[in-house]
Amino acid sequence: MRRLFRHSIVAVTILITAIVTTTTRPAAATGQAGAVSAGPASARGTSRDDRGDDKAIVHERGDGDGGKVSYSTTYHGRAWFTITVPSAAEARPIPIYLPGRRDVTVKYDERKSAELKTDDVYRAYQKQQADGSLKALAAFNRPEETAQHEKQLAADAGEAFAKRCGYKLPVKINWASFSDDDIKELSIASYCGEPIDAMARLCEDSAEAKRTITAAIKSFGCTMGPAMQLDVAGTTLNWTTSRSARNMGDFARKYLEKKL
């Protein structure tokens, strides 16, 4: 596919933010020259930390096969494809991908296209570029990212374990063993959480297994390494995962059934 890239500012400020709260104003996004899309995500909203509010974010435009146009940017150190616009205006909704949001779509709106003041957008971009807020949105923030991964792990595997095994399992992730690319590219909740899920399923399957796990496992540690490995040290189940790991849940269950 031949791709030609140009820089575009997605107007009026598609929100690239962790969580966006929609307001009564429709969103606006450039689909093609002079065309604006309106939809349920607002051009002015609020995020949990307010850093993503009302930002005019530079996107790269990629012209693809069939006349489709994609707009991508960098968000928290990652390539982020915000929207792919069809070759012509269509009545059907177009998906738009905002961090922390799901199932958001936009549609072309001729009135909004006519009302769009691009000079205002560009002035907002210049101001945000100067004050460093756009740079902060694009940058990879390791402490913030690790905190989000820990929160996701607790919400997924941690809650299931507590419900099925009857107690909260303390979890410690050896973040020094995870590279920035690991943190950006992998679901740590999955790579660290599979053995916790395996224990939760065992607790659910058997009262005897639940008693054994409750007595034997008081904490859990997760490390990134060259290959999958599980071992029990005292009452801590230590899990080494790997980028190449496959069938982690099955691996953990077989170990637990054999060792506990």
Q: What is the pLDDT along the chain (260 residues), one digit of tens a residue?
A: 333 333 444 433 333 322 222 222 333 333 333 344 333 322 322 333 444 557 888 889 998 888 888 999 999 998 999 999 887 656 678 899 887 778 889 888 888 888 888 888 889 989 999 999 999 999 999 999 999 999 999 999 999 999 999 999 999 999 999 999 999 999 999 999 999 999 999 999 999 999 999 999 999 999 999 999 999 999 999 999 999 999 999 999 999 999 88
Does 134 lie in the same domain as 17? Answer: yes
Does 86 lie in the same domain as 154? Answer: no
Does 209 lie in the same domain as 113? Answer: no
pLDDT at 90: 60
Q: Which of 110, 138, 166 is the last residue of a domain?
A: 138
Does 60 lie in the same domain as 147? Answer: no
Q: Which of 83, 115, 138 is the last residue of a domain?
A: 138
Q: Using a cut of 0.85, tell me whether the model's pTM lies above it.
A: no
Does 207 lie in the same domain as 126? Answer: no
Does 195 lie in the same domain as 80? Answer: no
Q: Report the C-alpha gap between 70 and 81 in whole angstroms.
A: 7
Does 189 lie in the same domain as 102? Answer: no
pLDDT at 121: 86
Q: Which of 138, 157, 172 is the last residue of a domain?
A: 138
pLDDT at 18: 26
Does 155 lie in the same domain as 78? Answer: no
Does 130 lie in the same domain as 32? Answer: yes
Residue type present at position 209: A
> Cβ of 149: how many Cβ atoms within 10 Å?
21
Q: Report the C-alpha gap between 217 and 256 in whole angstroms.
A: 11
Does 130 lie in the same domain as 11? Answer: yes
Q: Report the C-alpha gap between 37 and 29 in whole angstroms.
A: 5
Does 130 lie in the same domain as 74? Answer: yes
Does 219 lie in the same domain as 122? Answer: no
Contacts 24+ apart (CB under 8 A), 80-85: 80/16, 82/10, 82/14, 82/16, 82/29, 83/10, 83/14, 83/29, 83/31, 85/31, 85/32, 85/37
- Write out the residue range of the structural domain in which residue 78 sits: 5-138
pLDDT at 50: 43
Report residue 113: phi and psi, to 5°. Answer: -60, -40
Domain count, the chain: 2
Q: Report the C-alpha gap between 129 and 123 in whole angstroms.
A: 10
